[in-house]
Structure 1
């Protein structure tokens, strides 16, 4: 799968959902003035922007393994300490932050337990370490219509249901295995109104993430059949889609 894409392409694909989710996630992690927080797997900076609004640029750091995303986050949030790097090897010292957050990234980590353990390492004692992942196992992610249509055309396609962290139990288990205490979870729903089918569909054509890879792999004829099936499912628009993310947090 690829996230070596421009920040704007990712925003058109997922930013319309990750933006409002980031606000709810920051509320749930009790991010408040005076804290210092790191956004792990920051992407183009949806959660980073929420943190900056609440804490100021000098109290926020961010990291991502994609150079285009790091460049986009730096451009959008001047003054934030944005670094290129992986969650599994964070470039900060122990106890550097009050909170560490990973929004929609744990299921893409090469080693989620190690990544969350690193987040625990850089957070002071009793600070929150938190993560969100769409309910992939329950098929309640924003990509649900796409995966339903793919299943009609290719019943053997794995989709994203088996990704680590894609259910409440899986996400909680990852935090517990990373050594976090008092782990708890919540559901964070997000509803987005799409003005037209074309507005919803176009971002899937840019090869972003597993969904973009699946669409690209179909070839021109397969994409045409997929689009026909999706138009049948969704109609011309406008329409609302509600996605549900699981959020889990634990004490360092």
Structure 2
């Protein structure tokens, strides 16, 4: 025996219509509290009471709502009762309106789903666009870093080249200065050698020349070293007379050149 039958028997035994109505309202309130707490059996019983108008005004929309709740939780009878209720609604005078309402609901769901898909597509495109922009920015940053690195390396190479050229120029200038110094020293040495040679020639030209009749030195004549020393002294002091005017001028090469 179902709960409904049991309740009817109890109410019939009570023998009072007012008492039956009050009892059905109490049962409805009790089932409603359990249904709102998620009890599948109570949800099914509440849908039945709405469908039959027991303890509450008959409301087939609420009946379908609670049948659907119970069916979602796997109640074994809720789905069958739901199908019967929908079939009766479609066959009745309100079937056309119910069908139109359902179609409108279906269209609304379709619109919402299409809007959701459109929104999802836009969000995906926005994410993809942001990703591409981020990649482009990263690529631009890397290219800028590469250009900066290349510029620094080029500057370093140019600086190193200038420094090498400066060192080479300094080396060449140092070599040129050294060459000039050596040439100056060589010229100075040459002038000194020429002066020494000229001094020796002048000293030799100042030596006394013996007469043709006298071919030997006397004991009173000065020694050759003393004569050279005296000639050197005269060279430092300067000649008082022209050496080439002396009788010994014919033995001096410079005097012969003058003649």
Which has the greater radius of gyration? 2
Which interval holds the TM-score relative to the shorter structure? under 0.3
Taking structure 1 as the reference length, the TM-score comes to 0.18
Higher strand share: 1
Higher helix share: 2
Taking structure 2 as the reference length, the TM-score comes to 0.18
Structure number with the bigger relative contact order (C-alpha 8 A, sep ≥ 6) is: 1
